[in-house]
Amino acid sequence: MNPAIVIVGYNRVNTIERLMRSVVNAEYLVDDVTLIVSLDPSDKSDEIIETINKIGWTHGDFIINLNEERMGLKKHILKCGDLTQKYGAVIILEDDLYVSPNYYLYAKQMIEFYCDEERICGVSLYSHAWNGYANYFFMPQRNEYDVYLGQIGISWGQCWTNKHWKSFKKWYEKNKNIKEFKSNKLPASIDLWGDQSWAKYFYNYMVQEDKYYVIPYTALSTNFSEPGEHNNETSNSYQVMLLNSREKKYNIPTFDQAIKYDMFFERILTGKIINGILGEDICVNLNGLHVDCEGKKYLLTCNKYDGINYVASFGLRIRPIEENILHNISGDDIFLYESKDLNNLEIMTYRRSSRARIKYEIYDNPKKRFEEFYG
């Protein structure tokens, strides 16, 4: 299967030109790859079309779709996702992205490997280095494989097969009129995005149906986060290192072999034993974003609650953060509680960063820098 490439744009000439050049510069190894540029109409449409035609495309069909009227990002992405029915799979690239020369070959390997895995909802090109919900660095644990699985939201470069998209659209048709999901299984800020966000619906679909993205340890796309329909100013917060390679044979895990993270950027501990306790019985809340224990018997947190006895404690020394628990690092920075002892909801909804956690995040810099970070 050769996925079609879909570049989604509106009125930003420079961003779409930059993305287009990175796409043209990538490795394909075949000459039957369709490139579609899908544009919402604007006063820049003629200039954009002229610019991308000058760059050109030599690896297959080149199609420019100019919508008759402005659809907005949600409807636009949903329309582009429907192209999976025609092409079998699509790679969706919004115009403020930039791709690695290896992005296409990576996507092909992943959809071929996971084509029959029902628990996969898509293939991510992007790889998070920042947990924007908690404002902490994110460092997924590595193993011998080149990808991990996550319910971490991805909207900055993704590949969907027709099978992935049909499953989501079936769910979406049943839930598209819901304005607020009010789910404790997602960070609270997601519900504030409004019903015009396609990602809000896809993220809810992931957690409700227990689906996962395939995510690379080294990113194949990065995000410039420039002013546009959803941003008021440029930000480098979501720029990540790209794989600087044209060809690579990926070492890919099965679903059960892969390290997994949930929507809160927390490690899923299923199959692990922590202090004699099954990992699936523990609500991991090291980032302080969960608002309840989700029916689990234990809570793992960086917060120490006065007057409440904890089952075990751990240090905050090695990285990533959950490895302190898995390696039983001694200390008094991370605490394991029985959830029945935390029946006061205010305990779960009050999030604070301990001094130890802040020092851990800023790599133990001097006091002045510490205060600037926290204050």
Per-residue pLDDT tens over the stretch 326-338: 999 999 999 999 9
Domain 4-261, CATH: 3.90.550.10
Average pLDDT value for residue range 338-363: 76
State pLDDT tens for residues 286-326: 998 988 888 899 999 998 888 899 999 999 999 999 999 99
Give residue-wise pLDDT tens across range 19-39.
Answer: 999 999 999 999 999 999 999
Q: What pLDDT score does 183 carry?
A: 79
For the cut 70, the answer to whether the pLDDT of residue 365 exceeds it is: no
Q: Decide which of 1 and 106 is more confident.
A: 106
Q: Classify burial at 83, counting beta carbons within 10 Å of its beta carbon; exposed 0-12, middle 13-18, buried 19 or more.
A: buried
- For residue 225, what pLDDT is reported? 79
Q: What are residue 273's DSSP bridge partners? A: 278
Instruction: State the pLDDT at residue 194.
Output: 78
Distance CA 71, CA 75 (A): 6
pLDDT of residue 199: 92
Q: Can you give the residue ranges of every domain in the chain?
A: 4-261, 273-361
Angle at 259 between CA 140 and CA 166, to 5 degrees: 105
More confident residue, 290 or 48: 48
- Residues 107-120 have pLDDT tens digits of 999 999 999 999 99
Across 260-265, average pLDDT = 96
**Token pair of 151, please?**
């319910």
Percent of the chain with pLDDT over 90: 75
Kindly report the average pLDDT of the chain as a whole number: 91
Instruction: Please state the pTM of the whole predicted model.
Output: 0.93
* Residue 369 pLDDT: 58
Tens digit of pLDDT for each residue in 238-259?
A: 899 999 999 999 999 999 999 9
Q: Residue 349 above 70 pLDDT?
A: no
> pLDDT at residue 227 above 90?
no
Residue 136, pLDDT > 70, answer yes
